[in-house]
Amino acid sequence: MIEIIEQVGKPLMIKAYHNFALGLLVKLIRTPNDIYASLSLGKKPFGVVAGPPNQFKMIPVLYNSSTLLKLYYFENELSYSLGDLLYSNPWGRITSKKTYPNSIPIAFVEENLKENENLLKIRLI
């Protein structure tokens, strides 16, 4: 689940060969003839899946720093405080823990996560 609070422009439509859950992180894969989205797997996160695929198997991906959203797919056993940098874990979920020493942050926590809350408020970087 994902709730878009603020957004400038529209999401980028990218080919995807899998159905990704809303709120998962994807990276871009380049082939000689195409660019498509793949699950981030903790490396090179590009954006957040914002909707289901269209009739052309393209998914909307939120990717710019003006995007503020709440999402359900994050590692909920960790703590999240205002300003914490966020990364992709090996399953494409938001995490406050670096998966690799050179992990690239994709967002930061916009609001402290309250106890028993299941939506994390983040702003993309």
Which pTM value belongs to this model? Answer: 0.89
Q: Which two tokens stand for residue 36?
A: 């498509």
Query: Per the domain annotation, does 48 fall within a domain?
Result: yes
In a domain, 42, yes or no: yes
Domain count, the chain: 1
Q: Is residue 120 part of a domain?
A: no
- In-domain check, residue 56: yes
What domain range includes position 44? Answer: 9-62
Helices and strands per DSSP (H, E), number in the chain: 0, 11
> Is 50 part of a structural domain of the chain?
yes
How would DSSP label each residue in 9-54? S-PEEEEESS-PPTT-EEEEEE-SS-EEEEE-TTSS--EEE-S---
pLDDT in tens, 74-91: 998 898 999 999 999 999
Grade residue 17 by pLDDT with cuts at 50, 70 and 90: confident
Residue 18 within any structural domain of the chain: yes
